[in-house]
Chain A
Amino acid sequence: MMFGAIVAAALGWLFVWSGLAKLARPGESALALVNFGVVQKYRRWKGQVLGGAECLLAVGVFLSLSDRVTIVFALFVLVAVFGAFARLLSRAISRGDSFACACFGVEGEPLSPRTLYRTTALAVLAGVSGTVVVVLHASIDHPMLAFVAGAVVVGVGALAWQIPFLLMENSDPITTSDLEASI
């Protein structure tokens, strides 16, 4: 029963992605911390600390893949983390705030109900997966396979997320003559 392990691995890779993006561009994350009211003063290093913490969380999730008990623990830690993010998002949205939330390290993505639903859905996914592992007494036979499958899931998800944008751009009627006229 690999479902719980694959979900845990995928969420771990998501935090690797998010953490590295925050480490690469800590300013936006640091500003988001101020906007969310987590810290009072803007300091660039706070964004780096957040990125580093997410990477460490990912490492912890990957290390948990070898055992059923540790996977369940890791999944419920992720539920708590996503729940905390969702709480911050819902508080800011209810205040009517509008700023770049730096969610998963995405540059410039504004705060919106969509970001809240996404985070809540991930919390629910982690919770359901942990529950399934507990209820079904699932054993983890191939942790490395779950590790790889998690990477594939996140990679496919990241590419699929771009498809609506690509479809929109591919239907944009910019023609060669438009380009020549502008030059």
Chain B
Amino acid sequence: MTMVVLLVVVWTMVLTIATLLTIRQIALLTIRMNIMNTVGMGSVESGGELGRAVDTPLIRKHLFGLSHTVTVFALGSNCNSCHEFAEALPHQPYSLSPVVCLLTGSGSALASLRASVPEWLHLIDEPLATELGQDLELSATQVALNIVDGRLVGRARVEVPSDLEALLTFESPTV
């Protein structure tokens, strides 16, 4: 009797989980098809085309004021991988050229994120972070842009600190 009951429980659970996973897969496929319909087969690259001029009054004031060579990326308070990335960054900088971090979001999560980033990063808070992000065409978090003399020369997805290190030392291929 107990065995039968346990078998029924296991069967119900497996059936439920399989059905839910199937439903989730349908949802994912639907989203992908909708994206294909609206965006087309080309990908939307955060930061824009490599080689483009990156020069607006805000960028000149807040980025080029630091150096003619600057790396910038955005972190969001509601992105848990951003929190993990910030915590994993080392206390010592990777290179002498400045690295700017745009902090987006609000509330206690933003305070926690700000406390996690190392001191060698130049932090830019809201609302300036969002305005600069728009000027840079930075549409995603954890995408770092290398800007030299007002031109976008490199871009990389920075999921772990070694990705950022590779971009700063020009060892990784650009995205």
Residues of chain A whose beta carbon lies under 8 Å from any beta carbon of chain B: 27-28, 30-31, 34-35, 37, 40-42, 44, 97, 99-100, 144-145, 147-148, 151-152, 155, 158-159, 162, 165-166, 169, 172, 174, 178-179, 182-183
Contact = CB atoms under 8 A, between A and B. Distances in A.
Contacts of B40: 182
A162 B87 CA distance: 37
Contacts of A182: 33, 36-37, 40
Interface of B: 2, 5, 8-9, 12-13, 15-16, 19-20, 23, 26-27, 30, 33, 36-37, 40-41, 78, 80-81, 83-84, 87, 107-109, 111-113, 115-116
A181 B170 CA distance: 40
Given A28-B80, A30-B80, A182-B33, A165 B27 contact: yes
A181 B103 CA distance: 40
Contacts of A30: 80, 83
A152 B9 CA distance: 8
Contacts of B78: 31, 35, 99-100
Which 3 pairs between the two chains have the least Cβ-Cβ distance?
A27-B80, A155-B16, A42-B83
A172 B30 CA distance: 10
A17 B26 CA distance: 21
Given A27-B80, A179-B33, A151 B9 contact: yes
Contacts of B83: 27, 30-31, 42
Nearest to B38: A182
22 contacts: A31-B78, A31-B83, A34-B109, A35-B78, A35-B108, A40-B111, A40-B115, A42-B87, A99-B78, A100-B78, A147-B5, A148-B5, A151-B9, A155-B12, A155-B13, A162-B20, A165-B23, A169-B27, A169-B30, A182-B36, A182-B37, A183-B36
Contacts of A148: 5, 8-9
B168 to A, nearest CB: 25
A169 B30 CA distance: 8
Nearest to B80: A27
A27 B108 contact: no
Contacts of A169: 26-27, 30
B9 A147 contact: yes
Given A151-B12, A152-B12, A158-B20, 4 more contacts: A35-B107, A40-B115, A42-B80, A169-B30
Contacts of A147: 5, 9
A144 B83 CA distance: 44
Given A27-B80, A42-B113, A97 B107 contact: yes
Nearest to B111: A40
A174 B30 CA distance: 9
A66 to B, nearest CB: 14
Contacts of A178: 37
A174 B36 CA distance: 12
Nearest to A154: B16
A98 to B, nearest CB: 9
Nearest to A25: B80
